Structure 1
Amino acid sequence: MIRATTATRAVLALALGASAALFVARPAQADLPGADPQLTRAPYLTDVTTTSVQVSWATTTQSRGVVRYGPLGDCASQTATSTALGSPITVGTQRQYSNTVALTGLSASSGYCYRVYTGGAGPVDLLGTLATPSFTTLDPADSAAPFTFAVLGDTGETTNSGVNDGSVNVHQSQVHALVGAAGARFVMQTGDITHPGTSQTQYGDLFQTGPDVSSWFGPSYWAQPGMTLPLFATVGNHSMTSTFTSVWKEPATTAASGGVFDLVSYPSYLGSSPISYPTTYYAFTTGGVRFYVLDTAWGNSNTGSATGGSCGSHCKIYQLDALAHWQPGSAEYQWLAADLAAHPTGPKFAFFHFPLHSDSASEPSDSFLSGVENLLVQSGVDLVFNGHSHIYQRNTAGPGGLVSYVTGGGGADVSSVGTSGCAATDAYALGWSYSRNRGSACGAAPVPTDDAQVYHFLKVLVDGTSVTVTPTNSLGQTFDVRTYTVTG
């Protein structure tokens, strides 16, 4: 439980004329120079634990994927080979093959390096002349060593400053590069990894470009940071196809916590169509902190006769999500309550898509999650990180000390805050209107003068009972830095 909240230091001004050195965007490129031409999707990491990690990539040819890996300084001492041939996928106009290999038997808190190869006779090093990537496994649950992670939400859009012509989304490119350079051990994503939907084409590859093509795995985006930073995925309302669960694999973490990461069949609610949606909720503990990744999502077009209650049409999907996931007898609610009860002490953080508190008019607060919020408060959860609203917002601690953030500025078009008023609990919020070409703010935040100041990620440092959250915009400027004391 958070006992105190204080600003840690004077932060950089948001004005473009601030004295801080601004981050310079990487140049656009149509591929990943140095990689073998057979590599279409650079290797990326998921499901990291103290003893394992998943490595995935895609190629133009089908074979059994091979990873040569080892501790730092001995990167080829071990070999892991996939149990099956690469799985066919269609990306844009091309047939490609997706490979995933689990590296197991690793040691906790340890650095490893790896390279990916084609299988069979004459294996090809798919990284070519690229440097050998490395990663670090999670710390044990009882470790007291400081560690850093990043939080990123609402990403994967080719629109750049309101224009979707298929060129590079400079703001997202800058945010991804900054995440890669932040010194984080891993990344927590708060949902809607790609916009406007979830398809293999939207995720894309190293070569194909165009509107809504390669908005995540393009060479200017996650291709490079993803090789070294494991990502824990959260489902969002733009992620409601089987593509999500096929791209983001979390089998070890899900199994260890008794969670779910699969397509689940739902009945009709309020006249909605019976449907199967990707459903993902799981938990893990590292460095003394319990991390909860929850499913608060529903498809935009499957709302039946839902009204959204007093919130109106924007909240229809909130209403359906609550009926599917957050009734006392729902599987996810029961799982969460049981896991919280099994971990009564120690700091706890929760990550989910729909926001508890948001001053965005188009993606407002989700009042249908009030029961979940009460459960989190009663169970001693310290911090909540949400997405969905394409803004930055920090909310003051409510009863029980629960502080929540909205971090939806990772790459999708950002939106305004406070057009319908700013809530008293809104301590600091930033937004931008493309139709009005101006910024907006709530709480103590200055009004941004450029949309680049609204695109952002969060860097979180855990050092014992001290937790520092450092928001960083796409210019590389930090703002609204806060340190909390958590006691569990």
Structure 2
Amino acid sequence: MRDNRRFLRTHSNARRNRRRSLLSAAFALTLGAGAALSFAGAAHADLPGADPQLTRAPYLTDATTTSVQVSWATSTQSRGQVRYGPPGDCAAHSVTSTALGSPITVGTLREYSNTVKLTGLSAGTAFCYRVYTGSGTDLLGTLPTPSSTTPDAANSTAPFTFAVLGDTGETTNSGVDDGSVNVNQANVHRLIGASGARFVVQTGDITHPGTSQTQYGDLNQTGPGVSSWFGPSYWAGTGMKVPLFGTVGNHSMTPTYLSVWKQPTVTAASNGVFDLVTYPSYLGSSQIDYPTTYYAFTTGGVRFYLLDAAWGNSNTGNATGGACGSHCAIYEQDAHAHWQPGSAEMQWLQADLAAHPTGAKFAFFHFPLHSDSASEPSDAYLTATGGLEDVLRTGGVDVVFNGHSHIYQRNTTNPVTYVTGGGGADVNTVGTSGCSASDAYAVGWSYSRSRGTACGSAPVPTDDAQVYHFLKVTVSGGSVTVAPTNSLGQTFDVQTYPLTP
């Protein structure tokens, strides 16, 4: 439920203008040692200093200890090239794609997507790179050279930090969607870039209300629902240096997701799936092809499980959602598709958990195990006896991170669960239908009433910027610290847990 907040205008003009001023004053990202990139204060300006052919800034996916993928888009078609190496020798190696850039349509423009895999890297080691056209044009122009660091080895004991966020990619700013900058999301992206996170895990619904190349966007085109992720105020800076791992959500059900967020190496290494899968009819739904993403990797002694717990809103068939009602019809379909005893994903997960009987484990997926949002409530199908929650518990998973509900919530369950759905999409209320006993801390916002909501020990937010957030997660010395950070840069509800040895 949106409480008609997308169309509200009256309450937020002053707040929006104040946020724009904050963004213009603060929006700087460090891309390499000693070098800073500042974005222009005007909403949705081109990336200053970049070559005009660059339409989508380079971003990183499929990061392993020895390789990473670099993707970007241009207005002209060529074979993409990346020059890379260790700091101080960033052009030590060069790799050129074997194919021309793949045509995509963004808004009204034909653009060309390029992806190049960098190899020969070392675990836990910094590297730097620049992207070029096949003819040798430096697409970053006068911008500083981006740098990143590969994940640590599986058995490393060195401390490391990563970020978690969910439900992002919306141009609505404080309840108003007029195509201007979503300052809350812009600040969250900026803060992730400055957090020291080695990588980010996105828990689904990376763009709203759906998934298209236009919604992902580019550095130039603007408007409601346009460039809500790759616009210059958003992932364009942070994505150059922080690799992203993700999974699908109920708003990600098109092949576009697979083409943008390729993860072939980590998927193959874990015998997972990152592909378009045909699902038969369940409970009267239509047979349908959906992007399906589940895979795992280990870094720093922790096994990361990225799972597919999602289903499209428009294909619920005869599902009723049980006692939960219509909000949970997609949960019921997801349970039939993914979490029956004989389903492919359930079998894969149980086998991988059995193959890793010791050590710390984190799980990430979209539908929430426990949520006090009225419109995106707890998924009773996943928490039922023998369901996904039981499988994760018996498999030794330490912490679960979910999205879908556009709130923040921490639950004192076993395993501990978080809902982190405040990454950029319009945030929702929490606790309006009551707060559950396991809800230790939760915050939300009502745009129709222009006020915050809270559960557990949380103070009631006085500004929606206190609800937009990401999680900064640090693994160190046999424990993990989760530090939620709101879009104002303030940490809250910081918790530390021991990890399974």
TM interval, shorter chain, is over 0.9
How far has the Cα of 1:330 moved from its partner?
0.3
Alignment partner of 1:43 is 2:67 = no
**Deviation digits for residues 101-147 of structure 1 (CA, Å, limit 9, x no counterpart):** 00011111110000000003xx1000000000011111111000000
**Deviation digits for residues 181-221 of structure 1 (CA, Å, limit 9, x no counterpart):** 00000000000000000000000000000000000000000
Task: Supply the distance in 2 between the matched residues of 1:287 and 1:180 (Cα, whole angstroms).
Answer: 21
Q: Is the 8 A contact 1:352 1:385 kept in 2?
A: yes
Large movers: runs of 4+ above 6 Å: none
Q: Give the secondary structure class of the aligned counterpart of 2:104.
A: strand
How do residues 232-251 of structure 1 correspond to structure 2 at under 5 angstroms? Answer: 232-251=245-264
Alignment partner of 1:133 is 2:146 = yes
Alignment partner of 1:153 is 2:169 = no
Determine which of 371, 376, 388 is the counterpart of 1:372: 388
Which amino acid counterpart does residue 476 of structure 1 have in structure 2?
G
**Deviation digits for residues 380-415 of structure 1 (CA, Å, limit 9, x no counterpart):** 1000000000000000033xxx10000000000000
Determine which of 283, 308, 312 is the counterpart of 2:321: 308
How far has the Cα of 1:464 moved from its partner?
2.7
Task: Supply the distance in 1 between the matched residues of 2:477 and 2:109 (Cα, whole angstroms).
Answer: 49
Aligned-residue CA RMSD (Å) = 0.9
How far has the Cα of 1:487 moved from its partner?
2.1
Task: Supply the distance in 1 between the matched residues of 2:57 and 2:370 (Cα, whole angstroms).
Answer: 36
Q: Give the paired residue count.
A: 462
Higher RCO structure (Cα 8 Å, ≥6 apart): 1
Task: Supply the distance in 2 between the matched residues of 1:304 and 1:466 (Cα, whole angstroms).
Answer: 44
Q: Is the 8 A contact 1:25 1:170 kept in 2?
A: no
> What is the aligned partner in structure 2 of residue 7 from structure 1?
none
Q: Is the 8 A contact 1:453 1:473 kept in 2?
A: yes
Q: Give the secondary structure class of the aligned counterpart of 1:335.
A: helix
Task: Supply the distance in 2 between the matched residues of 1:362 and 1:65 (Cα, whole angstroms).
Answer: 44
Determine which of 406, 409, 412 is the counterpart of 1:390: 406
Task: Supply the distance in 1 between the matched residues of 2:275 and 2:224 (Cα, whole angstroms).
Answer: 29
> What is the aligned partner in structure 2 of residue 87 from structure 1?
102
Q: Give the secondary structure class of the aligned counterpart of 2:278.
A: strand
Which amino acid counterpart does residue 489 of structure 2 have in structure 1?
G
> What is the aligned partner in structure 1 of residue 446 from structure 2?
433
Task: Supply the distance in 1 between the matched residues of 2:242 and 2:351 (Cα, whole angstroms).
Answer: 30
How do residues 65-214 of structure 1 correspond to structure 2 at under 5 angstroms? Answer: 65-120=80-135, 123-214=136-227
How do residues 219-238 of structure 1 correspond to structure 2 at under 5 angstroms? Answer: 219-238=232-251
Alignment partner of 1:344 is 2:361 = no
How far has the Cα of 1:29 moved from its partner?
3.8
Q: Give the secondary structure class of the aligned counterpart of 1:85.
A: coil
How far has the Cα of 1:30 moved from its partner?
1.4
How far has the Cα of 1:233 moved from its partner?
1.3
Task: Provide the TM-score with structure 2 as the length reference.
Answer: 0.91
Alignment partner of 1:263 is 2:276 = yes
How far has the Cα of 1:266 moved from its partner?
0.4
Which amino acid counterpart does residue 386 of structure 1 have in structure 2?
N
Task: Supply the distance in 1 between the matched residues of 2:204 and 2:125 (Cα, whole angstroms).
Answer: 28
Task: Supply the distance in 1 between the matched residues of 2:425 and 2:399 (Cα, whole angstroms).
Answer: 24
Give aligned-pair identity as a percent. Answer: 79
How far has the Cα of 1:234 moved from its partner?
1.2
Alignment partner of 1:62 is 2:73 = no
Which amino acid counterpart does residue 372 of structure 1 have in structure 2?
L
Task: Supply the distance in 2 between the matched residues of 1:244 and 1:25 (Cα, whole angstroms).
Answer: 31
How do residues 12-27 of structure 1 correspond to structure 2 at under 5 angstroms? Answer: 25-26=26-27, 27=41
Task: Supply the distance in 1 between the matched residues of 2:500 and 2:123 (Cα, whole angstroms).
Answer: 25
Determine which of 354, 360, 376 is the counterpart of 1:363: 376
> What is the aligned partner in structure 2 of residue 413 from structure 1?
426
Q: Is the 8 A contact 2:408 2:420 kept in 1?
A: yes
How far has the Cα of 1:25 moved from its partner?
4.8
Task: Provide the TM-score with structure 1 as the length reference.
Answer: 0.94
Q: Is the 8 A contact 2:427 2:444 kept in 1?
A: yes
Structure 2 residues without counterparts, runs of 5 or longer: 1-21, 28-40
**Deviation digits for residues 338-357 of structure 1 (CA, Å, limit 9, x no counterpart):** 00000000000000000000
Q: Give the secondary structure class of the aligned counterpart of 1:376.
A: helix
> What is the aligned partner in structure 1 of residue 30 from structure 2?
none
Task: Supply the distance in 1 between the matched residues of 2:119 and 2:284 (Cα, whole angstroms).
Answer: 46
Which amino acid counterpart does residue 202 of structure 2 have in structure 1?
Q
Q: Give the secondary structure class of the aligned counterpart of 2:129.
A: strand
How far has the Cα of 1:466 moved from its partner?
1.2
**Deviation digits for residues 82-105 of structure 1 (CA, Å, limit 9, x no counterpart):** 111000000000000000000011
How do residues 266-345 of structure 1 correspond to structure 2 at under 5 angstroms? Answer: 266-345=279-358
Which amino acid counterpart does residue 40 of structure 1 have in structure 2?
T
Q: Is the 8 A contact 1:25 1:173 kept in 2?
A: no
Q: Is the 8 A contact 2:251 2:312 kept in 1?
A: yes
Q: Is the 8 A contact 2:44 2:180 kept in 1?
A: no
Which amino acid counterpart does residue 411 of structure 1 have in structure 2?
G
Task: Supply the distance in 1 between the matched residues of 2:44 and 2:407 (Cα, whole angstroms).
Answer: 28
Determine which of 468, 479, 486 is the counterpart of 2:492: 479
Q: Give the secondary structure class of the aligned counterpart of 1:44.
A: strand
Which amino acid counterpart does residue 73 of structure 1 have in structure 2?
G
Which amino acid counterpart does residue 388 of structure 2 have in structure 1?
V
Which amino acid counterpart does residue 51 of structure 1 have in structure 2?
T
Q: Give the secondary structure class of the aligned counterpart of 1:301.
A: coil
